[in-house]
Structure 1
């Protein structure tokens, strides 16, 4: 009982001697070639486009994106974020922490990604009372933003909830302390 002869995927002729098996197909070694430049692929690794082999050189020039972070070609996994392509290791917080952002939520400012903590520390509004970051609703008064709990009378420290109040040294005063 003889085996069915192997047929080359490119030329459809029987392969007698050396054989390359790749992409679920058999090839004469000289026919296992880049679909773009037609040169035989001799490297152990190659790329695939539309089910056909592509040499590394053609892949870089014809198919790979350029990393927005490091400006080098992307030959492996591509991260798409902010309408750009990134190497996985290049998609990191632009703030001081430089933490990886792959698989996490992030904030964008001026075309750069930031983790929540760095973004808030660098760009969020700060309370006029305590100077800490305001991440939720704020009271806007006296040319600034305030945490609700920080907008209190300068003298008695009672939170000011009325829409009218007095001002002393750019600090609010409740009706009782101002009268």
Structure 2
């Protein structure tokens, strides 16, 4: 005779036994905590240390993907205050690449990879038109890379805080004299 006691009815189990979650049950008592239907599948979900059938788990406990609005039953990505399937957490820029396991940038509640974010939103240099991702020089009401802020005439970098202006372009003090 078995010493096992059913977790549900507290009676001795003498025939078939279901052992899960460190507890024992009569097979008919191993049931979903939500709907009460016996769980016959070999895999099941758990909520508050009790078994939950797959249907109830999806309806009550699984998150919904922010992108596709379907239930999440596997790995969940939590980002930007929402939950996502791994396949749905992608860059909102032109590349549409996966952002799983990488750093990303946020703008208006949307995620972007570094490259697309810089291409779409970073300030552009008045000298070379490329994105400025580090410190910038602000002169003539625009931004410049340090190496792009050059004299219009001799093309040497302008490092002093004084310079002249011709045709809305900087000119070093040597060339303006």
Q: What is the SS of the residue equivalent to 1:98?
A: coil
Give structure 1 stretches of 5+ with no counterpart. none
User: Does 2:38 match 1:40?
Assistant: yes
Q: Counterparts of 2:112 and 2:174 in 1: how far apart (Å)? A: 45
Structure 2 SS opposite 1:57: helix
Aligned twin of 2:27? 29
Query: How far did residue 109 of structure 1 move?
Result: 0.9
Indicate if the aligned counterparts of 2:2 and 2:13 stay in contact, CA closer than 8 A: no
Cα distance in 2 for partners of 1:100, 1:91 equals 6
Normalising by structure 2, report the TM-score: 0.92
Deviation digits for residues 21-73 of structure 1 (CA, Å, limit 9, x no counterpart): 22222211211111122221233321101110011222122111111121111
Task: Tell me, yes or no, if the aligned pair for 2:2 and 2:12 is still in contact at 8 Å.
Answer: no
Is the deviation greater in 127-136 or in 82-91?
82-91
Cα deviation, 1:99-148, whole Å, max 9, x if unaligned, reads 22222211111111111111111111111101111111101112211001
Aligned equivalent of 2:18: 20
Aligned counterpart in structure 2 of residue 171 of structure 1, from 151, 169, 172: 169
- Computed over aligned residues only, the root mean square deviation of the Cα atoms, in angstroms, reads 1.6
Q: Distance in 1 between matches of 2:51 and 2:139?
A: 65
Runs of 4+ in 1 over 6 A off after TM superposition: none
User: C-alpha distance in 1, partners of 2:10/2:136?
Assistant: 73
1:176 deviates by 2.0
**SS across alignment from 2:83:** strand
Q: Which residue of 2 aligns with 1:55?
A: 53
What is the deviation of 1:14? 2.0
1:148 aligns with 2:146: yes
C-alpha separation in 1, matches of 2:45 and 2:9: 21
Aligned counterpart, 2:3: 5
Query: How many residues in Structure 1 have an aligned counterpart in Structure 2?
Result: 177
> For structure 2, which runs of at least 5 residues remain unmatched after alignment?
none
**CA distance, structure 1, for counterparts of residue 94 and residue 125 of structure 2:** 22
SS at 1:145 equivalent: strand
